């Protein structure tokens, strides 16, 4: 399908695994991540392939690519790293003031047509740090 829609936030490793498995499945039953890029606007962009016409710096995984299950530890490591702290959190990702409390989590998403930022159609999805809002 061309009109992919994906937007899931959460906090646990098991939710992250399920979100990655589902978004990978949207791209086909044997989808593997072959590379990644990062931007302050989009976060960690997981790539099916690197487009030679892009303006972002992408890094390639060796071999036949990484499965969704194998990406969980890599994504968690990225989320705890320095670059993730610089990613812009706005809208539903923000740390808002309300009558409950907030805790740090993540959001796995794609944009219109399943594209993400400068990676366009080569992207499987992107992952950003995101605040989870908890009521009283």
Question: Which tops the pLDDT comparison, 52 or 9?
Answer: 9
Mean pLDDT of the residues in the chain: 89
Q: Do the domain assignments include residue 1?
A: no
Specify whether the CB–CB gap between 35 and 59 falls below 8 A.
yes
Q: Do the domain assignments include residue 24?
A: yes
Residue-wise pLDDT for 28-69, tens only, equals 989 999 999 999 999 999 999 876 656 567 788 878 889 999
Q: Do the domain assignments include residue 121?
A: yes
Angle between helix 13-26 and 68-79 (nearest 10) = 120
Question: Which tops the pLDDT comparison, 100 or 112?
Answer: 112
Domain that holds residue 121: 7-134
Q: Do the domain assignments include residue 115?
A: yes
Residue-wise pLDDT for 85-100, tens only, equals 999 999 988 787 777 7
Specify whether the CB–CB gap between 132 and 104 falls below 8 A.
yes
Q: Do the domain assignments include residue 76?
A: yes
In total, how many domains does the chain have? 1
């Amino acid at each position: 399908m061309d009109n992919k829609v994906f937007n899931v936030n959460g906090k646990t490793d098991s939710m992250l695994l399920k979100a990655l498995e589902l978004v990978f499945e949207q791209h086909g039953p044997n989808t593997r991540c072959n590379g990644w890029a990062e931007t302050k606007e989009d976060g960690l962009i997981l790539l099916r392939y690197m487009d030679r016409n892009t303006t972002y710096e992408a890094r390639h995984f060796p071999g036949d690519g990484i499965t969704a299950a194998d990406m969980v530890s890599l994504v968690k490591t990225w989320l705890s790293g320095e670059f993730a702290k610089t990613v812009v959190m706005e809208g539903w990702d923000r740390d808002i003031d309300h009558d409950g409390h907030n805790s740090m989590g993540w959001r796995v998403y794609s944009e219109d047509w399943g594209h993400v930022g400068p990676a366009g159609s080569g992207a499987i999805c992107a992952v950003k740090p995101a605040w989870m809002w908890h009521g009283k």
